[in-house]
Structure 1
Amino acid sequence: MSFALSEVALERQAAVRRFVDTELIPFEVEAELNDGEIPAEALKRHKAMAQELGLPRFDVPAEHGGLALPILDQVAAIEPVGRVTNGLGWCYPEAQGWMFEACSPAQIEALIKPMMRGECYFAYAITEEGAGSDVDDIVATARRDGDHYVLDGEKWHVTSANLADVLLVQAKFAGGPADGAHGLFFVDARAPGITTVRTPAYTHTYRHHHPILRFEGVRVPVANLIGGREGAGMAFTYAWFRRERLMIAARCCGAMERLIEEATAFAKGRIIGGVPIAERQLVQAMLADSVVDLHTSRMVTWEAAAAHDRGLDLKSLHARCSIAKLVASEAAGRVADRAVQIFAGRGYMRENVAERFLRELRVDRIWEGTSEIQRLIIAGGLLKRGLAGTIGAGG
């Protein structure tokens, strides 16, 4: 199968890579040694440049001022963002296509369009202490009270909550005709009743924190329900999962590319016994295996993106995105480990890109659905729709 990108798509991909390589990567070590923080003027410039590149508008319909790019073009352009460590690529909010289907005109004007302009930042509050990859295990509740819902519960790993203006909170309806069904709500991040239980330290060094938030009697206007009806929440969560899994795979490809480049350059210049280690066959084997991991992951990810553009049915797309995330996230971990080995002692220094990626890429096998959950989704697709219905017909 061919994945031909247009000249415009290739130019966009190259522009994003230039932005990452010349603007973001130079701040990695400073961010690593300063709790993820970089100078305010640099962050402001990065946000402005991301806007100029259109990154927040890639998936937005044209009628709402977006670029409405094919998913394949989006994946190709997002891949270079994975080249940078320390969350520096998270310098822009992203409006996603499903939001314009799920949200009311008022919600789009008040929340989604400001996010497109970089004026509003979201954080997803879905995971709970006893509910991770299986979202149906959540116990947070939403009870109707007149023209409001009252939210109660506790959410874990609320990524970027410390920087967010709005939380997307998932809860189950308590009472009413949709009792037990899922709902998604826009919630003001500063609403009364929201408290930070604690902010755990994580393996990576990001300015984006992942606190545990408690919701106690948080009143949310009925107008803030996403989807316009009770019980529609899971459909939008699945749409979010599909996109996030695909983009995680794309960023993993970008990370692998950077690691291979850096490890190869080092191996060419590192002399032992009068010979560059790049000439040693065991080092060559590690580099070769890493190239195979990258190429395989990229092809699987790009195929899943192309399947979106072909209009494949949602259940099959769900499996394709799971395959892409599983393949790319597992491969990226292997590539990072090999890169550390090639750098040897240097690869264990925090100033080294391989050390940082070894820590940062590990979470890609966990968030937005663990590798084990992806395997269950893929196997479920196989058992229900057969091999052709899961990965397409051969031949």
Structure 2
Amino acid sequence: MTFTLPPEAVHWRDKARDFVDRELKPYEVEAEMNDGRIPEAARKAHEKACIAMGVTVMDVPKERGGLALPILTQTAIVEQFGRVTNALGWCYGEAQGWMFEAFNEDQIARIVMPVTRGEIHLCYAITEENAGSDPGNIATTARRQGDTYTITGEKWHVTSHNLASHMVVQAKLADGPHAGEHCLFVCPADAKGVTIARSPAYAHNYNHHHPILRFDDVAVPARDRIGAEGDGMGFTHSWFRRERLLIAARCCGAMARLIEDATDFAKNRIVSGSAIADHQMIQAMLADSVLDLHAARLLTYEAAAAHDRGENLKSLHARCSIAKLFASEAAFRVADRAVQIFGGRGYMRENVAERFLREVRVDRIWEGTSEIQRLIIARSLIKRGLEGTIGPN
């Protein structure tokens, strides 16, 4: 089996990289020094460019006017957006394929397709204080009263809430035939009864905040329930699979950027009359970083290609966990080595290695910690065997 990207994927990869290098990277230091913010005109221009490029519809079915690009091609695109720091790569919204199974026709017209045009911006309110990597333990409830659900509870780490117009909220049904089962709802980000309990500061400088939200009897019309009652966890798993794969892709992009910049520095940094790239200790760090990137990229591309081949859903779930686990841990190793290669410069916030060292650390936590990924992989192995977990040899 070859992992050479097909021509279509190479075309999209190069287009995405050109956009990232030309339009996003120049704003990195400005964003770092301004709490992740860049001029509003620039932010809107980046979003508009991504919409024009077709990135927002890459996972949208063709019958809906989308591109329905192969998952491998989408992964190659997202990898390039991982090359930039300060969440500048989060400059577009996307309608994900699972939404066209979960949302009804009215919701697709009102919510999903406007996302692709930048008219609606979504965030996800799933995680809770005592239900992080295991969303099955959430305590937030939804109680039906006629044609309205009342949502009560508290959500943590609601990423991008400050920039969102709408939220996808996960809650347990408090009553009815599906009591105790999970359900997803979409509601305005500023709905009556939604309050920001606290907006903590994080290690990274993103303009995408992660507040703790309280839901006090928030009324959501039944028409804004996503799917049937009790379908919530199934849709959440679909979202997790995609997010874990794309986190792995972004980590690959970060590693590539770090290796390129660290290598260039090492070749030009002269100490005692010679470039530090001539020293074997530096060469070893660069070599280990190349190994980490190559292995992570192969795992990530293979997981994406398995989606395109239509392989077993349970196996795909495990493969996305494998890719996220390895790529996220590898990215931190590469960032740490890059800081060391840059030396004192690597500890400056204006340096790409310092920023990525802080930023990629969270990739081992969100959308399921590394420990949770290991459990998913091990349980798949025990239940389905080696081939059922990683596919046939």
**TM-score, L = length of structure 1:** 0.99
For residue 214 of structure 1, give the secondary structure of its aligned residue in structure 2: strand
Q: Which residue of the partner structure matches residue 112 of structure 1?
A: 112
2: CA distance, partners of 1:153 / 1:7: 48
CA deviation after TM superposition for structure 1 residue 5, in Å: 2.7
1: CA distance, partners of 2:363 / 2:315: 22
- Percent identical pairs in the alignment equals 66
Alignment of 1:277-316 (within 5 A): 277-316=276-315
**How many residue pairs get matched?**
393
Alignment of 1:41-190 (within 5 A): 41-190=41-190
Deviations 1:24-51 (A, max 9, x none): 0000000000011111221121111111
Q: Which residue of the partner structure matches residue 371 of structure 1?
A: 370
2: CA distance, partners of 1:142 / 1:181: 10
Amino acid at match of 1:143: R
2: CA distance, partners of 1:267 / 1:2: 32
Deviations 1:312-354 (A, max 9, x none): 1111100000000001000000000000000010000000000
For residue 83 of structure 1, give the secondary structure of its aligned residue in structure 2: coil
Q: Which residue of the partner structure matches residue 385 of structure 1?
A: 384
CA deviation after TM superposition for structure 1 residue 7, in Å: 2.2
Q: Which residue of the partner structure matches residue 201 of structure 2?
A: 201
2: CA distance, partners of 1:6 / 1:346: 38
For residue 124 of structure 1, give the secondary structure of its aligned residue in structure 2: strand
2: CA distance, partners of 1:191 / 1:45: 28
Amino acid at match of 1:9: A
2: CA distance, partners of 1:282 / 1:3: 31
Deviations 1:208-242 (A, max 9, x none): 10000000000000011101x11000000000000
For residue 133 of structure 1, give the secondary structure of its aligned residue in structure 2: coil
Deviations 1:241-268 (A, max 9, x none): 0000000000000000000000000000
1: CA distance, partners of 2:124 / 2:288: 36
CA deviation after TM superposition for structure 1 residue 131, in Å: 0.5
Amino acid at match of 1:371: S
For residue 97 of structure 1, give the secondary structure of its aligned residue in structure 2: coil
For residue 99 of structure 2, give the secondary structure of its aligned residue in structure 1: helix
Q: Which residue of the partner structure matches residue 36 of structure 2?
A: 36
1: CA distance, partners of 2:279 / 2:53: 42
User: Is residue 262 from structure 1 mapped to residue 266 from structure 2 by the alignment?
Assistant: no
Q: Which residue of the partner structure matches residue 362 of structure 1?
A: 361
CA deviation after TM superposition for structure 1 residue 190, in Å: 1.5
CA deviation after TM superposition for structure 1 residue 11, in Å: 1.3
Alignment of 1:223-242 (within 5 A): 223-227=223-227, 229-242=228-241
For residue 87 of structure 2, give the secondary structure of its aligned residue in structure 1: coil
Amino acid at match of 1:310: R
- Identify the range of structure 1 (128-137 vs 36-45) with the bigger mean alpha-carbon deviation: 36-45
Deviations 1:262-312 (A, max 9, x none): 000000011111010000000000000000000000000000001001111
2: CA distance, partners of 1:9 / 1:73: 4
CA deviation after TM superposition for structure 1 residue 12, in Å: 1.2
Deviations 1:177-209 (A, max 9, x none): 001000000011111100000110000001110
Deviations 1:367-394 (A, max 9, x none): 0000000000000000000011111222
For residue 196 of structure 1, give the secondary structure of its aligned residue in structure 2: strand
Contact 2:8–2:73 under 8 Å retained in 1: no
Q: Which residue of the partner structure matches residue 220 of structure 2?
A: 220
CA deviation after TM superposition for structure 1 residue 2, in Å: 1.2
For residue 144 of structure 1, give the secondary structure of its aligned residue in structure 2: strand
Q: Which stretches in structure 1 are left out of the alignment for 5+ residues?
A: none
CA deviation after TM superposition for structure 1 residue 118, in Å: 1.0
1: CA distance, partners of 2:4 / 2:54: 22
Amino acid at match of 2:220: V
Q: Which stretches in structure 2 are left out of the alignment for 5+ residues?
A: none
Deviations 1:51-78 (A, max 9, x none): 1221111111011111001101110111
Contact 2:9–2:72 under 8 Å retained in 1: no
Contact 2:171–2:182 under 8 Å retained in 1: yes
2: CA distance, partners of 1:195 / 1:101: 31
CA deviation after TM superposition for structure 1 residue 360, in Å: 0.2
Alignment of 1:14-25 (within 5 A): 14-25=14-25
CA deviation after TM superposition for structure 1 residue 174, in Å: 0.3
Q: Which residue of the partner structure matches residue 242 of structure 2?
A: 243
Amino acid at match of 1:241: F
Contact 2:58–2:68 under 8 Å retained in 1: yes
Deviations 1:153-183 (A, max 9, x none): 0000000001111100000000110010000
2: CA distance, partners of 1:6 / 1:373: 33
User: Is residue 348 from structure 1 mapped to residue 328 from structure 2 by the alignment?
Assistant: no
**TM-score, L = length of structure 2:** 0.99
